Amino acid sequence: MKTDNDKTEITTAIKNGSIKLAQKESYNSLLSGNRKWVAEQLKGDPDYFKKLSQGQSPEVLWIGCSDSRVPANQVTGTKPGEVFVHRNIANVCVHSDMNMLSVLDYAVNVLKVKHVIVAGHYGCGGVAAALTHKQFGLIDNWLRHIKDVYRLHAHELDRITDKDAKINRLVELNVIEQAYNLCKTTIIQNAWKEREDLQVHGWVVDINTGLVRDLKVTNNDSQNLGYVYELNPEAVAAHA
C-alpha cells in the first residue's frame, strides 16, 4: 500500500517528467523550424545561402528593443543581409556602452550604412519599469538612463495622468533622446564631416497594429545638435 509520501513523490516525478518533455519539445521545435526555413529559402532560390555567404552590404542599422515582438527584419519587411541589428532593453544608446559603440562604429565606418534607426515600441516593458519606484535588481542601473529621460521631460510627463499614455509618451521621448545621443557621438559627427548620405532617425513601432510611426526627428548634420555637443573647430571659434 502506498503512503501519502509515496503518492507525493510519484506526482512530483510525473510533473518533473512532463516539464522536461515540454522543454525538450520547445527546444527541438527550434531545430525543426530551422530546417523548414532552410527548405523554404532553397525552394525559392537554390543559390540563396551561396549568395548570402558572399557578404553583407546593409544600408540600415537598427537599434531596437530586445522585446521579442519587434524583430527588425519582419517589422520592415526586409530580408537577411539588409539590416544590421543591435538590440537591448528599451533601445538605450549610451556613449559608455562599448557594445553599442562597436556596432555603431562598424556599421557607420565599415558597412557605410545610410540610415541609423532607433526603434522603440509602445507598451515597452523597460520603459514601464522605469516609470515605477520598484527595484528590479541589476537592471535598475540600465533603466536609470530612461529615468534620466523622464527628468529632462518631467514638465510634460508629470501632467499625463493616464498610465498607458504616460508610458507611451516616455517611449517616444526615450527614442528621441537616444537618437540624439547617437548624434552626439564622435562616430556620427565625424562621419557627417566625410559624407552627406548618413541619417539618424527615431521610430516607434505600434505593437497593436504593427505599423511604424516616424517621429520626424531625422538628423544629418552636427549643426542641429546645439553648440554644447557640436564637435568641430568652427563651433569652438563661434562660441569662444
Q: How far is CA 21 from CA 12, 16, 69, in A?
A: 14, 9, 26
* Region from 54-62, 65-73, 153-161, 217-225 binding Zn ion, contact rule CB under 5 A: 65-73
Which CB, 53 or 68, lies closer to Zn ion?
A: 68
* Region from 49-57, 72-80, 121-129, 206-214 binding Zn ion, contact rule CB under 5 A: 121-129
Q: Is 204 in the site for Zn ion (CB under 5 A)?
A: no
Among 60, 61, 65, 183, binds Zn ion (CB under 5 A): 65
Q: Is 230 in the site for Zn ion (CB under 5 A)?
A: no
Which CB, 127 or 187, lies closer to Zn ion?
A: 127
Q: For Zn ion, how many residues bind (rule: CB under 5 A)?
A: 4
Cα distance between residue 198 and residue 187, in whole Å? 11
| Residue 77, φ and ψ in degrees, nearest 5 | 65, 35
Which CB, 5 or 208, lies closer to Zn ion?
A: 208
Amino acid at 180: Y
Of 162, 155, 139, the closest CA to residue 90 belongs to 139
Crossing angle for the helix pair 186-194 and 98-105, to the nearest 10 degrees:
10
Among 63, 124, 182, 183, binds Zn ion (CB under 5 A): 124
3-state secondary structure of 64: strand
Q: Is 177 in the site for Zn ion (CB under 5 A)?
A: no
Is residue 134 within 8 A of residue 83, CB to CB? The reply is no
Active site residue ranges: 65, 67, 69, 121, 124
* Region from 9-17, 19-27, 64-72, 137-145 binding Zn ion, contact rule CB under 5 A: 64-72
Q: Is 146 in the site for Zn ion (CB under 5 A)?
A: no
CB of 6 to Zn ion, least distance (A): 47
Which CB, 67 or 230, lies closer to Zn ion?
A: 67
* Cell, residue 92: 538605450
Cα distance between residue 231 and residue 235, in whole Å? 7
Q: Is 104 in the site for Zn ion (CB under 5 A)?
A: no
> What end-to-end distance do the CA atoms of the chain give, in Å?
93
Query: What DSSP designation does 219 have?
Result: B
Which CB, 81 or 125, lies closer to Zn ion?
A: 125
Binding residues vs Zn ion (CB under 5 A)? 65, 67, 124, 126
